[in-house]
A = this chain, B = another copy of it.
Amino acid sequence: METSEKKKTTRGRQRIEIKKIQKRSQLQVTFSKRRAGLFKKAGELSVLCSVDVAVIAVSPAGNVFAFGSPSADAVVNRFLGRDSSKDVGRGGQWKARYGEVEREREKAAGGGGFWWDRPVGELGLGELERYMAALEELKCKVRKRADELAVAAEMENDLPDNFLDSGSGTGGVMVNPFCDFEENYFDFGCNY
């Protein structure tokens, strides 16, 4: 029993300075881990407090990662159920598609992951629709508030199409739907 019988196998978590990580490989790992952690936190917040939460991260490469509208219920219903006089038939169609994708994801996840935690390339349109609806919704709310500040006129601009030319196209969009089953959502014991 030497003074230090068990040599520590690792140094455990180390404090790091919050500044740009230079080592590219480490940046990639940190981004993945922290993004997952951020999304989990967002999901928990949304469930605990029944709030719509959206998290979006654009990597330097231009990839889009997003966690969408946890308590999707209100947003989705509003989006699918609004005065879509010309899109009447679409609501049902999308819902169907939604369920379809959901089952696929559950299957794909196998138990460790979540169906919605997939790259955008593999996601159905329903998810993107919902995510964008939430974004639009939130943006409108902010705009409204700005309007109250009596400067709305200054905001009547839209971004150019080349606003982000660094995009490479391998990003991912995650949508967390478990809030739709408030009595029956999945357990949080996922490891991303």
What mask results when residues 61 to 85 of chain A are scored 1 for a CB within 8 Å of chain B, else 0?
0101010000000000011001110
Residues of A within 8 A of B (CB): 16, 18-21, 27, 30-31, 34-35, 37-38, 41-60, 62, 64, 66, 78-79, 82-84, 87, 90, 120, 125, 128-129, 131-146, 148-149, 151, 154-155, 157-161, 163-164, 167, 169, 171, 173, 182, 185, 188
Q: Are A54 and B51 in contact (CB under 8 A)?
A: no
Q: A18-B47, A64-B141 are in contact. Are A146 and B125 (CB under 8 A)?
A: yes
Q: A31-B49, A58-B51, A58-B52 are in contact. Are A132 and B128 (CB under 8 A)?
A: no
**Copies per complex?**
2
Q: Are A42 and B55 in contact (CB under 8 A)?
A: yes
The smallest C-beta distance from A97 to any residue of chain B, in angstroms, reads 10
Q: Are B159 and A173 in contact (CB under 8 A)?
A: no
Q: A55-B54, A138-B64 are in contact. Are A145 and B163 (CB under 8 A)?
A: no
Closest to A189 in B: B18
Q: Are B151 and A143 in contact (CB under 8 A)?
A: no
Partner of A53, one of B56, B154, B159: B56
Q: A82-B159, A120-B145 are in contact. Are A45 and B57 (CB under 8 A)?
A: yes
Q: Are A138 and B21 in contact (CB under 8 A)?
A: no
Q: Are A125 and B142 in contact (CB under 8 A)?
A: no
A71 to B146, CA, bound (A): 22
